Every structure is written in C-alpha cells, then in structure tokens.
Structure 1
Amino acid sequence: MRLLEIRQKEVINIRTCASLGCVMDLLIDEKNGCILALIIPGPGKFCSVLGRDSEYIIPWEQVCQIGRDIILVDIDEKECRKKCE
C-alpha cells in the first residue's frame, strides 16, 4: 500500500465512532523504515477557517484495521491530540 492510498482513507475511532479525518502524514523510523504513527490534522480553530492548532498522533499499534475506504483505530483522543509546533 502506498502513502497516497492511506491518505485517501478516513480514520474512525472505534471507541467513540467519531471520524477523525484523513491521514496527513506518517511518522517513520529512519533506521528500519517501519511506520511508527499516523498523523491526522485536528479540528479547526474557528469554524475550520483559521487553521488548526493541534493534530492527532496515532501510534501504529493503535491501528485496528485498514479497509478499502477507512482505517479503524482504538485511541483515547485526548491522549493522542498534540499541539502543533
């Protein structure tokens, strides 16, 4: 599977059945090339107009299943949300 294919899939949290959005980027281990985490943009600041101040960093171990259209994850959204730098 290519990054482009992963980026087109919607990410769903199975704990809350909420859509988190689509994958923006991947965190990859430089030494062995393994995927460490999915990076998903967080919710917009004000009506999604003024940009974003956070993102979800979802560890690869929390990915439950990758389907044809969606990626299922099992996360605590508060723990995975990080401030953008």
Structure 2
Amino acid sequence: MFKISDLARRDIINLSDGSRLGPVKDIHIDSAAGNVVALVLKTPKKKYMGLMSAGQDIVVPWDKIRKIGVDAVLVDVDAWQKK
C-alpha cells in the first residue's frame, strides 16, 4: 500500500523508449467510482530561442501503468500521447 503523495517522489519511466517523463503534477479521480483514472505529469520547461516555455502536460491513463515500484513507476506511453 502507498499514498498518492508518494508518487510525486518516484521517477516515471516510459517503457517504450526508456525516457523519464516528469514528476506527477496531478491525479484524475472518478469520484463516483472512487478510482484513479489518470496521472498528469509535468513536463520540463524547454528553451526556445533563448526563451523558456512550459511543455504540455502528459496525461497517462491508469491502464497504461505497468508497475509501481519503490523508486519508479513504469508506464507504457506511445509517442503520440507525449505530444
């Protein structure tokens, strides 16, 4: 058993390419069913022509989470979902 706040301390790793996706920013919950629907990941800021711009958030549906470990959460996110 773990707390939702524990997810913020774990690396989120994409199984399809081994990349780190970013920290957990938010969680979508179905209040009627009491289930977690998705994790919202904060993407790093990107430098573009000397200016900092925020990347788009990545929404990982709960069914794409493959394993929650002590140090990392393994997810299977396709390239189209990261854009």
Same fold (TM > 0.5): yes
C-alpha distance in 1, partners of 2:42/2:59?
Answer: 9
Shift of 1:34: 0.3
User: Computing the radius of gyration over CA atoms, which structure comes out larger, 1 or 2?
Assistant: 2
* Residues 23 and 43 in structure 2, CA contact (< 8 A), matched pair in contact too: no
RMSD (Å), alpha carbons:
1.8
Question: Which runs of 5 or more structure 2 residues have no equivalent in the other structure?
Answer: none
Confirm or deny that 1:59 pairs with 2:54.
Answer: no
Shift of 1:54: 0.6
Q: How does 1:14-53 map to 2 (within 5 A)?
A: 14-46=15-47, 50-53=52-55
C-alpha distance in 1, partners of 2:78/2:53?
Answer: 23
Could you list the structure 1 runs, at least 4 aligned residues long, displaced by more than 6 angstroms after superposition.
none
Question: Which runs of 5 or more structure 1 residues have no equivalent in the other structure?
Answer: none
Q: TM-score, length-normalised on structure 1?
A: 0.82
Shift of 1:80: 4.2
Q: TM-score, length-normalised on structure 2?
A: 0.84
Alignment-derived partner of residue 72 in structure 1 = 74
Count of residues in Structure 1 that have an aligned counterpart in Structure 2: 80
